Every structure is written in C-alpha cells, then in structure tokens.
Amino acid sequence: MAIPNLRRRLGDDRPKPRLVVAERPRETTISLSEIISAMSFALDLTEDAMQGHALRCCLMGMRIADEIGLPESERTSLYYALLLKDIGCSSNAARMCSIVGGNDRALKAGAKLEDWTKPHRPTASAVKLLWREAVPGKGVFRKAARVLKIGLTQHRNNREMIQLRCDRGAEIMRKLGMGDVAAEAVRGLDEHWDGAGYPEGRKGVDIPLISRICAVAQHLDVFCSERGAPAAMETLRERSGRWFDPDLVEAAETLYRERTLFLDCSPRDDQEITRRAVLQLDPGDHHELPASRIDLICEAFADVVDAKSPFTFRHSMGVAQVAVDIARCLKLPDARVTLIRRAALLHDIGKLSISNAILDKMGHLTRDEWTAIREHPGLTHEILSRIPAFEEVALIAGQHHEKLDGSGYPLHLEAADLSLESRVITLADVYSAMTEGRPYRIGLEPAAALQLLARDVPTQLDKRCFDALVLSVTGDVAHNFTSVVH
C-alpha cells in the first residue's frame, strides 16, 4: 500500500486512523497562520521541493528581517509572502510540460539549482538535467532536437513561465486578502539585483524589499536541502550583487556565523518543530478566522489545484457546486453543507504532487503512473489533517475515490466506513469528471453521465445521493434510470 510512503514524504510516520467521520461537526477554531502554514505543504508539492520548504523559507526570511530591522508594518506581508511564494506555480505546469515533453515537477526542482541567466554558457549539469527530462523514452535524435530547441528559446520560455507564475500568484494573494504589498512581493520573487531576472527585469531597489528577502530565503533552503548549508552560503556569496541584494547576503552571513540562520531549518529536522517555530513568529493578531475567510482560502487553493491542467479548469469548484446541490436536496443542515463544500473544494489538493506528463497524458497510463494517481487522496488527507479544525474536512476529502463495495482507493474502505458526506463528494467528483473534457475524450451530456452512473448504484455509489443528484440536475424525482436497483 502506498500510504506509508506518503507519510514519509510528508515527514509523518504516525499510524493513521481509519477515515470515519463523526456524526456531528466539532467546535474548533483556526487562525490564519495555522491554515496557511499547513497548506504550504501543498505548495511544496508543485515544485517537487522537499516537504517543509515554505516553512523553512519563512523561518530564515523572518530572521533576515530581524537582522536588517524590517519595520513591523511590513512583517505580516513578508510572513505570508514567504509561506505562499509558490502559490502561482501550478499555473505554468502544463506549459512547462509541453515545452520539455517530460516531468515538469522534476525539471522545476532541478532548475532551481542552475543559473539560467547565462543561456550562452550552459553548465554541464543544466544540459544533463534537460537531457534527462526532455521527451523521456524517445529516440536520441528526437531528444537532442528538443534540448536544442529549449536552449534556443530559453530566454523567451523563462519569461513566459515566470510571467504566468508571478501574475497568477499575485492574483491569488489578493483573493486571499493578503494585500498589495504581499501580492507584489510574490510577483517580484524572480527579479534579480542586476536586472537580469524576470518577468519585468527590475533592478536593485526597484525590486520590492520583501521580494528580495523571499528570493534569498528560497535560495538558501533549496541549496541547503540538496547540497548542505556550506554550499548554500557559497552560492549565495557568488550570486551577491547579481541575483541578490548584497545587504541581505551580508545579513545572512551574520546569522550564519552566529549559527542561527539554519536553526530548525534543516530538511532533517522534525517538520512539526519547524512549523511550531513558524507559528510563534506570526506577526498577526492571532484572531480566529471568520467562516467567510476560511471559505475564501478553500476557494483560493481550489484555484491553485485547478490551474495545474487545462483539462481540470474549474473542476474543484464544479465538484463543490454539485456536492452542495446534492446536500441541499438531501436537506442536510447548513453546517454539514459547509463541511461538504470545503472538502469538495480541497479534495484534489494532493494532485499537485502529480506531473502533468501523467495528468495530461493522451494515451493509457502505465502501472507506475496509476500508482502516482492513486496516491493523491492520501496526500490530500495528510496535508489537510495538519489543520486541527479541518479534521473532518481531511477525512472526507481523503475518501473521494473510495467506493461502497471496497473497490476504491487508496484504503479500499467499504460502506460501513463511509459517511454520507463522503458519499456525496464521491458522487459529485465522478459526475463532474464525466461531464468535463479530458485529454482522451470529450465531456458527456448530463443525461448520458447519469445513465452511466446508474450502473454503479447501489453497489459502488450511494442510492440516496444519486437520487438527490438526479433531482438537482433534472428537477425530476421519479427518474427512469432503470439500472438503479430499488
């Protein structure tokens, strides 16, 4: 079973309870830093970063802010920009995959270790990376042609990729209510001190200070995670005055000499210790989030997931709407409808771990590719379960591919283990997927989708939920889908 591997990837080897939902929602509260710090683990997946990357960046970035005396008025913007700096990264995944013809996540992770500002002088490691990831499984001549094309169009591609990510990231930051300062910090993450960065080629102090801090913190964690702290500092010094603000490099040097820069910031450190340290640095007001803000955050992260592939555009929002319609027809209490909607919005957050080479594949999936697909509900559960107030959301969202007869995945749960809320989301997800287009087929008309779904009622799909779906779609309680066993 793949779940133990998922736990190791997320730094959590604790045994997990069976995914069973309680009868009534628990009264729990949540702060902004709690939910964002937990959801940052999902953003780590988009770039194939070592889990806890955003948390470690936050710790180091806030320490640099202390060292330079960043005004208190800018601390909150920096804090959330560090945690959410990668929130736009899913938006360029499909385009990256089409350019390379291979694993977009692997290329993104490897690219962070290369200096792509010198396309006329590519390093041997950069060429090796492209050769490994470009059109895997194809002949040497096709691979060589793709690598050459990438090299010749690198500057244009870099600008396009970063523009997509930065614009989308800034847009989502504003949707989250993080304000213009934090949004512009995310937009300017890949600008370089010497003006050779992207997307606008800003230079020096024209780059927002918070962007400059985020860039240094990101560099430090990426290189420390892969090559160790000494190598991270060596490369930081080498790029001082080119990529990075020399004053910030000096601040990082001071913290490094004092042995505080990487404190609790190693990928080998317990991620929950790192997260607690991040939560202690929260410069905000620590007030409980209102329900409307929680819903907004769920919607924003649904946008992050849906942006990953053109074939799943608005999928999470669509599933949420169908699930709410079913729940309303079932006359569930408002609290349960809210629970269902949040779980539906976030049900595919684990899909950020899957390469677009798999998600957008035209042909049949291999066994390994199917394994990657089947892991995503478990990842969804692992990420959301880090938020205590989302215990039920995590359980329900993690069950969205389970079936009543035990034929689902990843845990092969059966009817006795599956709550009504889980059954609602499972049906909403299947119906939405059938009516949406995919790389290998066009979407079905609602009536055709309902006819096909009826074949799996009540063996795999819940009859009450199906009847409610039919009512919400057709307005007719007395449907005539004779495949349903009454």
Please report how many Cα atoms fall inside a 13 Å half-sphere around the Cα of residue 117, on the Cβ side.
Answer: 15
Quote the DSSP letter at residue 87: T
Q: Known catalytic residue: 351?
A: yes
Q: Which of 112, 351, 361, 403 is catalytic?
A: 351
Please state, in angstroms and rounded to a whole number, the distance separating the CA atoms of residues 296 and 307. Answer: 16
Could you tell me the CA-to-CA distances from 338 to 28, 298, 393, 424, 466 in Å, in that order?
Answer: 14, 11, 10, 13, 20
- Element (DSSP H or E) covering residue 429: helix 420-435
- The pair of three-digit structure tokens given for residue 436, joined into one six-digit string: 């949406």
**Amino acid of residue 208:** P
Question: Which residue has tokens 């993450």?
Answer: 189
Residue 244: name the closest of 280, 205, 279 by CA.
205
Handedness of CA 355, 360, 362, 367 (dihedral sign): positive
Spatial CB neighbours of 26, under 8 Å, sequence gap ≥ 6:
391, 392
**Amino acid of residue 247:** D
Helix spans in 330-366 (H): 334-346, 356-359
Give the SS3 label for residue 240. Answer: strand
Enzyme catalytic residues: 351
